Amino acid sequence: MLRRGLLAMTEEKSARTVIARNESASDAAISICVICGQPFRSWLWRTLFICGVTFSSCDVWADNGILRDGIGARLIGRGGTTAAYGDGGSSAFFNPALLDDLDSHRLEIGYDQLLGNTRFENSLGSDSAKYQDASLPWGTLVFNPPGRWTFSGAIYPVGGLGNDLDVVDPLFGRQRTSSNMVFIRGHLSASFAVTERFSLGAAVMPTYSSIKTRFPYTFSGGPLRGISLLTRADLDGWGIGYALGARYRLSDRFSIGAAYTSETHFDMDGKMSLGAPFDIGKYDLEAKNMQLPRTLVIGFMGAPFERVRVLGDVYWINWGRSLDGLRLDFDNPTNPVLAAIPGLADFNERVPFKWRDTYQVRVGIEWDATERWTFRAGFTSGSDPIPSRTLIPPLAGLFEKAVSAGFTYRRTDWEISSAIQYSLANQKSTRENLLGRVYESSTNRLEALLISVEVAYKF
């Protein structure tokens, strides 16, 4: 009965179906305005200070799955290494204990611009997109009163993913696939100097998530099991996590640090349209277990020479627990025909992502050429968390290796830093695919260039 119902709707509407190939995949921007003393949602603490941060529509921009491996020019320039050494407020994003390294109040504002190249190819055709861009602003304020405590508030894009490509589907022909996923994090942190050498830190991290996707999908269970449909989803929601960190100076030239970041669980809801290839109905949608993964980092900073620092971090990222699968609950269809078919008025689906835990190694070096100039270089290496059997273009966060370089220039109370990072091209093929027949016997390829600028003012 289900298949006959879908076939009847297809025949009824096929004569007036128009497929808009050039539909924009990133037609909305997320704007957040946080003003000192004004609430950021009803429950977000008033200490977030950023005024008018705008996150524009994004395309490819993920370093490990959907998490970034560095934020701000200083961190990016040295490969994202910061577990044991803090030279700015952005270091607290990865280890809040590092706020103790700062000796003044500090305002930092940064802007990261990413350009990505992507390509998808299957047995029926191929498509590529060059210079897809993402604009990633961020900011943080550090408050350093007399005594052992240091505090900070920040807002920044902790991760995301985007893509915009055509695929040739054996059922629906050439179809646009796209994704626009943004995770915007507030970060309220504090550090405490237990001794002159040992500091502890903690952070609370309210996070907003917006997910927009469009791609063919083959349902794995429920009343639509085995049926391939075009899906268009628009979801958003809030979650909250925390971070704990520690840093110990063994000497003036060597320190070690470690930090743990918890999972962030999101309660997300929105809409999903189903099509064959036109829309046959729209459902209210809830995503039950969407989450960003917990992470653990251990690192060191050593100064073999007076003006040279060498840094290294090792990360464990628990994707295997966070994105093994995603439960979707469908109800309230707009199409009365769907509501009348048994089992289609409301049902659930478990999307089998099957992502894996990953490890990442980051190394960096800094050289203080003069009192005003510091130069940096870095390298990042890890494995992507996505198995080939669930790899699809809208969710292809495949970056594994990156090289970077940057500098800082200081003048009185001002600092300006810049960095560039190249994520080496990575290609991955799949034979069988759990998410759709169109992705079988296909290849995805990605590479990206990131340019970062930040300004800091000490007061």
CA distance 371 to 366: 13
Q: Is the predicted pLDDT of residue 54 greater than 60, yes or no?
A: no
Helices (H), 316-419: 319-322, 336-340
Q: What domain count does the chain have?
A: 1
pLDDT at 255: 98
pLDDT for residue 14 is more than 70: no
pLDDT classification of 64: cutoffs 50, 70, 90: low
Domain span at 396: 25-458
- Examine residue 304 and say whether the peptide bond preceding it is cis (omega within 30 degrees of 0): no
The answer to the question of residue 338 being in a domain is yes
Number of DSSP helices (H) and strands (E) in the chain, helices first:
4, 20
Asked if the structure places residue 380 within a domain, the reply is yes
**Helix H or strand E segment including 8:** helix 2-13
What helix, strand, coil percent values describe the chain, rounded to 5? 10, 60, 30
CA nearest 227: which of 239, 215, 219, 235? 219
Residue 76 host element (H or E): helix 73-77
pLDDT band at 176 (very low <50, low <70, confident <90, very high): confident
Q: Does residue 9 sit within a domain?
A: no
Asked if 83 and 95 count as a contact pair (C-beta separation under 8 A), the reply is: yes
Range 246-251 average pLDDT? 97
**Residue 423: inside a domain:** yes
Specify if 18 maps to a domain.
no
Does residue 86 lie in a domain region?
A: yes
- Residue 65: its pLDDT value, please? 60
Residue 397 located in a structural domain: yes
CA torsion, points 190, 196, 198, 201, in degrees to nearest 10?
0
Q: What mean pLDDT value characterizes the chain?
A: 85
pLDDT band with cut points at 50, 70 and 90 for residue 63: low
C-alpha of 77 from chain center: 19
Find the range with the poorest average confidence among 159-163, 326-330, 381-385.
Answer: 159-163
User: In 123-197, which ranges are E strands?
Assistant: 125-143, 149-169, 173-193
Integer Cα distance of 229 and 358 in angstroms: 32
Residue 5 has pLDDT above 60, yes or no: no
Q: Would you say residue 310 lies in a domain?
A: yes
pLDDT at 326 over 60: yes
- Strand, helix or coil for residue 139: strand
Measured CA to CA, the distance from residue 159 to residue 69 in angstroms comes to: 9
Residues 6 or more apart from 95 whose CB is under 8 A from it? 82, 83, 84, 86, 201, 243, 245, 247, 257, 258, 259, 297
Stretch 287-300: mean pLDDT, rounded?
Answer: 94
Write the CATH number for 291.
2.40.160.60
